[in-house]
Amino acid sequence: MDKKGTILSGMRPTGALHLGNYFGALENWVKLQNDYNCFFFVADYHALTTGYENTDDYKDNITSLLVDWLAAGLDPEKCTFFIQSSIKEHAELHLLFSMNLPLSWLYRCPTYKDQLSQMKDKNITTYGFLGYPCLMATDILMYKADFVPVGEDQLPHIEMTREIARRFNYLYNSEVFPEPQPLLTKAKVLPGLDGRKMSKSYNNTIALSDSPDVIRKKVMSMVTDPARIHKTDPGHPEVCSVFSYHKLFSEDQVAEIEHDCRNGEIGCVACKKILAENIAKLMTPIYEKRQEWLKRTDDIKDIIMEGNKKARMKAEETMAEVRRVMKIDWI
């Protein structure tokens, strides 16, 4: 079957993937691999932009990330996995782009100021963090991606990538880089177990590595409607985190659950038990596949070595073009 074009996307190896990661990106990747020429990469350089002070867990995190991808259904026969730092051409192209990238473009990026305010506990007033959008553009343009799956909050990064491609092509009178298009995906957003944003730093996630029993225990600890004191009190599903999960995991029961909650006909404990079983049912196959892949670390290394090889071939091809049009290919 002819593919519709090339897609590139990546994830940072910052810890165990959780349901938010799965429904926000990974589930969609599994579908995209059937229709597009997909490059999926471990963004370990990107992880350093905010986590450069502590890299002790990086190797384990990379292994865990690859296991999660494979368990969730990414197929190395259908797509290419690679590790960003294994493809040294990324560092070279990032350097060359940075030579002509106006600083004003980086400072105007909305996520830069947002993250500075959100991460006050980290020293990220660094060149690497400021240049994050340039590195992202490098990743995308290296493989001449036609599409990048993103949510609306990432559109400014894609537009900057397009501007960087246009600027390079103009400066060097070339057509080396196509302008990638965003492939907008409507992410299924889940709150954390405590009602806040789902985040590993808040310790309020359900991880893909959690066993069915751990999932059940976590669900039973979830925060529900704070105004509901007694089982027979009318509930307010719109403010309940558990109900947010029901809309995703209990689609055929959600209308009944909402009715019974609003009318005080189901208690929070019973409601959470239904949810716990539904999540466990859906996620158990991924958990079981994950246990199998953990026993096959040599196979995982072979997969990533082959993926790195494919990615490197494309990167070398792109960099040969870049050096030629920049006239820095003297040797």
Q: What is the dihedral of CA 121, 101, 159, 314, to 10 degrees?
A: -100
Residue stretches of the chain with pLDDT short of 50: none
Question: How many CA atoms lie within 13 Å of 45's alpha carbon, on the beta-carbon side?
Answer: 23
Query: What is the structure's pLDDT at 119?
Result: 66
State whether CATH 1.10.10.10 applies to domain 6-190+297-326: no
Whole-model pTM?
Answer: 0.93
Query: What is the structure's pLDDT at 122?
Result: 75
Strand partners, 41: 10, 82
Domain at 210-291: CATH architecture:
Orthogonal Bundle (1.10)
Q: Are the folds of 6-190+297-326 and 210-291 the same?
A: no
Each residue's pLDDT tens digit, 119-148: 666 777 889 888 999 999 999 999 999 999
> Domain extents for the chain?
6-190+297-326, 210-291
Query: What is the structure's pLDDT at 153?
Result: 81
Query: What is the structure's pLDDT at 1?
Result: 57
The span from the CA of 170 to the CA of 130, in Å, is 24
